[in-house]
Structure 1
Amino acid sequence: MPLLSLTDFVDIVSKSGTPKITKIRQIKVRPDYNPALDYYKLLRNRLIETHEKNLGKSYLKNLLQYITDQRKLHNYEPLIEEYCRWWGRTKYDWFNPPSGKWTHGSVQVTINPELGLIKDGKKLLIKLYFKSDKLSKNKVSVILYLMKNVLVQENSSDMNVGIHDIRHGKMYTSPIKEEGLDAMLKGEAAYIETV
């Protein structure tokens, strides 16, 4: 099985029955990542650059004047507005977010949060979520669990993890109930190996 992104792994874990097998097969046969086909790459990079260089909301909004694809413009504009609404007047400092891998058997899952923000001395690692479907409680639990266990334990106790569902203006950072989650994820990895 190829190296899985966190998104791919969570998509597999959240399915059951034949759709789970179908998802695994789709991932297995799809072509390698191509940045030119990454729909949200421009926005993701602009968000990172805006915070990393402390450029402010106007720099983020300025991205829209360079978008010529009307469909992309139609999708990016509300995402930028919603992100700026969430940001509000809060002052964030930047730190380079760590990345890591969760491994079980031959299955490896890359954990790469896009943003590392500091507010009032507290660090927050943020995974950005752009999809139109709302995040389920199950997906949120898996993502937060993997981020916390792979990235926080190795780095710092003053660091928290979060998922920002930009489209719906929701930040998920609540505590993770870990009961049985580790065993469940190891079972999912074994299932992926078998398929």
Structure 2
Amino acid sequence: MKQDAWKLQAVRGLGMTNFGRQMLTVLEGLPAAERARYNQTHPRAEYDFTVGNIRLWVGSDADIEAHFTRRQADFEKTVRLLQTGAYFASDSAGEAAANADPAINALLKSLYISRVTRKSTDCDACFAFVIGGLIDNTVGLLYEPDKRKVPAMNPESLIVVKPLGHGWYLFKTT
């Protein structure tokens, strides 16, 4: 066997997406009056956000990449706000403050991102824009301009780290 040949170690996929597909079917079938009621009872995750978020969560990598490409300027703006606010400079309380910041929160909602964190990806310096998932099966976008700091794939945690360019990566965990 050649030394530079590929060796398949594992085949992994994002788990529990069927639950998301079922939720999407139910939500998309709601009549307008029910959607309005949904918004009243779920003010932090209104209908449009929830549907957009679930579509990305259960969608293909190509869907996520296309969404990122269309909205890259807003993702970049969010990173600048996070850096300017220095939310993650010292303690874990910074994550809650970052996600609660009105400007950042509005951008995250418009991008269908459930939260920004540094805990999901084994990377202390990265910004992880979590789209969604269940338990430890998550998907999102990772920002780290220094590729040497980007965590390697690992069958126990990061099962996808796909470069999108300019310090951005698609990630999936398990």
| Short-chain TM bin | under 0.3
What is the TM-score normalised by the length of structure 2?
0.27
Greater relative contact order: 1 or 2 (C-alpha under 8 angstroms, separation 6 or more)? Answer: 1
What is the TM-score normalised by the length of structure 1?
0.25
